[in-house]
Amino acid sequence: MIDSATTPPAAAAIRTVLMRFSTTLAQITRANELPDPSAGFRPENDAEHSYELALVAIVVADLVDPDLDRGMVARLALVHDLEEIYCGDVSVFDPASSSDTRAAEKDAASARVLDDLRGLSPAVAADFQIYLERTCPEARFVYALDKIVPFFRVLHNGRHHARPSLEEYRARYATARGKVAEYPPLLPVFEHVYHEVGARLPGLNSN
Amino acid sequence: MTEQSRSTAEIIGLVSDVITPIFTIERTMVMPFDLNRHENVGEHGFALGLLAGALAHTIDRSLDTGKITEYALVHNIVQIHSGDVTVWESDEVIRKKITDEMLAADRILADYPMFPWLIGKYKEYELRDTPEKRFVHALDKLYPHILILIEDHHPVHPTWAAYERTEEIAREHVAGFPALLPLFDDLCLMFRQKPHFFSTPIPPDESDRHSL
């Protein structure tokens, strides 16, 4: 184990980033699934989701708005779920996801992450703050795309991880659309995938 | 097919053919929370991107963290076709890796010409002609040392001689960004205090060293 008392500052900082953030996020599982050669499907973890979001965000940025700063898009995608190291991930199909309690948990977790990051890396702290406050188009773009990427995953997998009824699926439309609307150029993408998943839902639920 | 549905289909194809396979490629490195679970290439890309972004300005404030993050994300993308070739492989396999990776890059570009950033950024990274590219490359080579020390466990359990060879190779790569060399040397000195990492004894003149 790296002993922080005798370790060079950079090595100690690296250890903290790896242990507290990246490996912790690799342990936080989501409701969304990834294909697994041995088990059919397995839960995706937050590290995988953040990596996927970053790659998809950059290629979609090219399609939607070439003026978006890709480097910033990449940085914000990697930090967008950091607070989940303290509050975990809750699926949108879980009623708790929209509760005031959950919102408070996320706020407290985000504040804690910012405290951690300020001493460790002001640059990453600044990125996380930008994402939380959505003070630039890149942050609003990443926030909106984060709500769309699960639809791509469902369509790729050919199955819906939550097996929602059509009523449950439709009940979440307004909330999801409201979030995507923070970056209006992504609305046509959202409408397209939302309706495609809805049209295929019985088949997606039976796989 | 409308233009929107064509774009969506292309993105789903990217998720299917490029991104998803990344999560099935296992690396030699294992996860600190489960030494039986290998890190996959996507998890490594995430960790390296976050780490590089966090560390960059502590090493050199002029580094562009956006470019660094992009390079970290794509640096192993060709492995979906070429596989992960570790430093523990034979010289022949390692030499073949360069050709295999070039072919893999061309294949991805041929399959997804509508997303030029992906392979364009990878090929840019491979040039190693800017500080940002050399920083990511160097950090990628010292990352295993950090993870192994955190875990207090070497997943390969090499002989000392085999490890020395890989240390030399890694040092050549880290030297591409000299400001990271002191850190790498410190990590290597720590390795010399960990006899349980190796399947053969560490020579006394190595474990007694205070500098490299």
**A64 is written with which tokens?**
């939607």
For residue A1, name the pLDDT band (cuts at 50, 70, 90): very low
From the list B18, B24, B117, the residue facing A37 with the nearest CB is B24
Q: Closest chain B residue to A3 measured between Cα atoms?
A: B150
Lowest mean per-residue pLDDT among A15-29, A126-140, A173-187: A15-29
* Angle between helical axes of B160-174 and B131-151 (0-180°, round to 10): 150
B84 CB within 8 Å of a chain A CB:
no
pLDDT over 80 (residue A159) = yes
Tell me, what amino acid is at B70?
E
B15 has a chain A CB within 8 A of its CB: yes
Would you place residue A8 in the very low, low, confident or very high pLDDT band (cuts 50, 70, 90)?
low
> Which residues in chain A have their CB less than 8 angstroms from residue B183's CB?
8, 10-11
Contact flag B47-A18 (C-beta cutoff 8 Å): yes
pLDDT over 70 at A7, yes or no: no
Tell me the H-state helices in chain A: 9-16, 23-27, 46-64, 70-79, 84-87, 100-120, 122-133, 137-157, 166-171, 173-180, 187-199, 201-206
Model confidence at A123, in pLDDT bands (50, 70, 90)?
A: very high
Interface test with B, best of A4, A21, A22 (most B CBs within 10 A): A22
* Interface predicted TM-score (ipTM) of this complex, two decimals: 0.95
Q: Is the pLDDT of residue A122 over 50?
A: yes
What phi, psi does B29 have (nearest 5°)? -60, 145
CA distance B28 to chain A (A): 16
Binned at pLDDT 50, 70 and 90, residue A32 comes out as very high
Cα–Cα distance, B62 to A46 (Å, whole number): 30
Q: Strand B26-31 and strand A29-36: pairing? A: unpaired
Higher pLDDT, residue B106 or A95? B106
Burial class (CB in 10 A: 0-12, 13-18, 19+), B21: middle
pLDDT digits (tens, 9 = 90+) for A43-84: 999 999 999 999 999 999 988 999 999 999 999 999 999 999
Identify whether the C-beta of residue B165 lies closer than 8 Å to the C-beta of residue B211.
Answer: no
The upper half-sphere exposure of residue B106, i.e. CA atoms within 13 Å in the direction of its Cβ, equals 6
Q: What is the pLDDT of residues B159-178, one digit of tens each?
A: 999 999 999 999 999 999 99
Question: Is A71 within 8 Å of B67 when comparing Cβ atoms?
Answer: yes
| Amino acid of residue B198 | F
Residue A98 CA to residue A78 CA, distance in Å, equals: 23
pLDDT tier, A5 (very low <50, low <70, confident <90, very high otherwise): very low
Q: Which residues of chain B carry a pLDDT beneath 50? A: none
Contact A1 B149 (CB under 8 A): yes
Q: Are A51 and B42 inside 8 Å of each other by CB?
A: yes
Q: What is the pLDDT of residue B56?
A: 94
The answer to whether the Cβ–Cβ distance between B150 and A10 falls below 8 Å is no
**Mutation test of the interface with chain B: which of A18, A44, A70, A149, choosing the one with the most B Cβ atoms within 10 A?**
A18
